[in-house]
Chain A
Amino acid sequence: MKTKRAMLLVSTDPESIRLGASDLLKSLKEALEAYQLQDEVDVAEIQDIERTNILPFVVVYPEASVYGPVKPGDARYLVEEHLYKGRIAEDLLAPPKQLTGQIGSLRAHKGYNPSEQRIVLERAGRIDPENIEDAITHNAYEALGKVLTEMTPEQVIDVVEKSGLQGRGGAGFLTGRKWKFVRAAKGEKKYVICNADESEPGTFKDRIVLEGDPQSILEAMAIAGYAVGADEGYIYIRGEYGHAYRRLQHAIEQAEEFGFLGKNIFNTNFNFHIHLHAGAGAYVCGEETALIESIEGKRGEPRPRPPYPVTRGLWNRPTTVNNVETLANIPAILRNGAEWYRSFGTPSSPGTKVYTIMGNVNFSGVIEVPMGITLREVINIYAKGMKPGSVLKLAQTGGSSGSIIPSSLRDVPMDFESFRKAGVSLGSGALLICDQHTCIVDLVKVLLQFFRFESCGKCTPCRVGTQRSYEIVDRISKGQGKLEDLDTLQTLIAEMERASNCGLGQTATVPIRDMLKHFRTEVEAHIRLGSCPTGVCEMAFEKMES
């Protein structure tokens, strides 16, 4: 049998036929013959009830590009572009498949997943990150120019607020509102800080932005500076990100050279300077007040809040602290408007979200998709399924302090609102997918080891609470736990949540809470039977025997 190199699937359901699928089929076959491709390409007819909005459509394998609606007159062009010249016929591509919520369409690019939509990572991977000119040809600094020459700071804040952009660091606070507070705060001197202390285990989305498109952050910070009335900004980047640090350093030099940073930007009287500040290894510095302390040359111990940084931040001046991913959305919002941005994601959580996927799946890496898609979709579509032999047992969303969700919650739309309702935290966007060989006790033990190490030690509930809860879970993992331990854990975490000074202690409890809520039987098996159902934990008595 002759091997075919490609396959065309054409929709020929009654509705497609009504819309001209028969002629399309005929034209496609003619076009294939015209390019003498008829022996290399198979054509098949299919019906697909899910894609009723793009009929008739054509799917080309092996790339799985979806074109639609395709008119008979497009057939020759499609065959010429995709099958003869070997490139995606971008203008015929179907809008990304409707996932969940209200989703707009952004041009899909070659090499992207079929429904991936990129705003934050629009340029990352498509431009030379070391070359500002390359970024400029891809719209960099267009938004800054527009903002400085055509808009007032209030208008900028208004657009950002109307876009509904929520902080992507985990808390989901409205960015526009934060800027408004800083603008309204008393004081001549104000600061913009970019929080690039991405330390949440399993999260590396910000690194991809910083390394792939550093100019987008500089542009966004300058816009933020104009909006809130600041002429100075700091990028606090974690010490471990040496590569991203050098990229940013180079990017700042180039931006200064081109006049996008410095004095009289775009010949206006707006000045903006950016300092690049590297951390030295402390998870707690991702907390905004600890981060500010750290810039000020102190131990990264969070301040009591209030006062919030919007009124008393860096050097006690009003400060806006925004996450890298949040900032990376800003230029696109100001270029295209709030309405455009709201066409992505869900009404309560507009826009896209960058996720990092990892664990027992076939594809690990970074994706950018509309807010509101489900975990099932992430695993099946983007992670290309579970590893052979693996079955989804649980997933952790949002890094160490994120929720641990059982497979039964995989159909909850991932947006701030729906997750909040389900009692789940979206966190930083890390998705750790675990299979049946993961032991919940062992996993939580690893997480608590992290928290007891990273607790800054300033307040007692966190310092002692993380240590004690680790000791208890460690005991359980060795088969030496008691049932009372579970009550002690409940009491401990309630106190930690109530009395800890900052987010670290308040959320270090999330894995414990979820463990007791969703996986209590498994935990009790460790205690009652003295054995680990998954065979992961090393039981103390087994050690003695050997």
Chain B
Amino acid sequence: MYAPAVEREIKEVVQEAIEKHGCGRDAFIPILSEINHTLGYIPAEAIREVKAQINHDGSFVSQGQLYGLASFYDMLSTQPRGRHVIKFCENAPCHVVGGKAIWDALRETLNLENGATTPDKKWTLVTTSCIGLCSVGPVLLIGDDMYGNVTVEQLPEILERYE
């Protein structure tokens, strides 16, 4: 899972991302995705650091542009998230096969609204657009783990698997 930001120097994380993806304009989104994946979100310091390192390498990017990307794309987060992010598909194919009941049960069990994180920083609950697993709806993702044909009865057992 995600290493907490404190454990790794943000500078180092940014540097690795840039080394991997280069610093051309087409690398901006992959760099931010990489940082988001490593740190769990994109802290403001990381955006400053990306700007400094990329501009040092000869390209130009502004902080505003980077923040614009981080706030536009759904898979990037500018806020810290819980250790486990539950993504629930709220689109029509999952909806017509019983998705709403799962969503209601999730919110009730975790006592969370869409986009919120539990006080113990264990869970973040978000809805997501279709993830292409429609033949086994309703679908949810916990981190990179996919769960299909989910029933309300299965939820406690699924959630228990995570520390």
Contact = CB atoms under 8 A, between A and B. Distances in A.
B3 interface: no
A280 to B, nearest CB: 4
B75 A239 contact: yes
A443 B33 CA distance: 33
A125 interface: no
B130 A200 contact: yes
B97 A360 contact: yes
A279 interface: yes
A297 B28 contact: yes
Contacts of B96: 359-360, 432, 434, 438, 443
Given A279-B29, A280-B76, A297-B26, A450 B132 contact: no
A506 B32 CA distance: 31
B54 to A, nearest CB: 10
B110 interface: no
Contacts of B90: 446, 449-450
B27 A297 contact: yes
Interface stretch (B5-13, B78-86, B134-142): B134-142
A198 B26 CA distance: 20
Nearest to A295: B26
A203 B96 CA distance: 15
B91 interface: yes
Contacts of A447: 92
Contacts of A296: 25-26
A280 B73 contact: yes
Interface in B4-39: 24-30, 32-33, 36
Interface in A437-470: 438, 442-443, 446-447, 449-450, 453-454, 456
Nearest to B36: A280
Interface in A255-304: 275, 277-283, 294-300
Contact of A400 (B36, B92, B144): B92
B74 interface: yes
A242 interface: yes
Given A199-B129, A199-B130, A202-B134, A297 B29 contact: yes
Interface string B56-74: 0000010001001100111
A397 interface: no
A432 B129 contact: no
B30 A278 contact: yes
Contacts of B43: none
Interface residues of A, number: 51
A456 B68 CA distance: 12
Contact of B74 (A202, A280, A298, A360): A280
Contacts, number: 127
Contacts of A220: none
Nearest to A438: B96
Nearest to A301: B72
A539 to B, nearest CB: 15
B95 interface: yes
B75 A281 contact: yes
A419 interface: no
Contacts of A38: none
A179 to B, nearest CB: 23
B91 A364 contact: no
Given A204-B135, A242-B144, A282 B97 contact: no
Contacts of A203: 130, 132, 134
Given A296-B25, A432-B93, A278 B132 contact: no
Nearest to A453: B129
Contacts of A358: 93, 97, 134-135, 137
B52 interface: no
Contacts of A446: 90-92, 95
Contact of A202 (B28, B73, B92): B92
B131 interface: yes
A277 B28 CA distance: 11
Interface in A277-335: 277-283, 294-300
B1 to A, nearest CB: 15
Interface in B114-163: 128-137, 144
Contacts of A241: 132
A359 B144 contact: no
Contacts of B74: 280-282
Interface string A220-261: 000000000000001000011110000000000000000000
B95 A356 contact: no
A430 interface: yes
Contacts of B97: 358-360
A423 interface: no
Nearest to B92: A446
B29 A294 contact: yes
A201 B130 contact: yes
Nearest to B146: A243
Contacts of B92: 201-202, 396, 400, 432, 443, 446-447, 450
Contact of B129 (A234, A277, A450): A450
B91 A201 contact: yes
A454 B129 contact: yes
Contacts of A187: none
> In this complex, which of A199, A358, A454 has the most chain B Cβ atoms within 10 angstroms of its Cβ?
A358
Given A356-B134, A446-B90, A300 B72 contact: yes
A241 B135 CA distance: 16
A365 B69 CA distance: 34
Contacts of A438: 96
A414 to B, nearest CB: 18
B145 to A, nearest CB: 12
Nearest to A300: B72
Interface string A104-144: 00000000000000000000000000000000000000000
11 contacts: A204-B132, A239-B75, A240-B75, A277-B26, A283-B129, A297-B69, A357-B135, A359-B97, A360-B97, A450-B91, A450-B92
Given A281-B75, A300-B72, 20 more contacts: A199-B129, A201-B93, A202-B134, A203-B130, A207-B132, A239-B73, A240-B132, A277-B26, A280-B73, A280-B75, A281-B73, A283-B129, A295-B26, A296-B26, A298-B65, A300-B73, A357-B135, A432-B93, A450-B129, A454-B129
Interface of B: 24-30, 32-33, 36, 61, 65, 68-69, 72-76, 90-93, 95-97, 128-137, 144
Listed from nearest, the 6 A-B pairs whose CB atoms lie closest are A281-B74, A297-B28, A281-B75, A280-B73, A201-B91, A204-B132
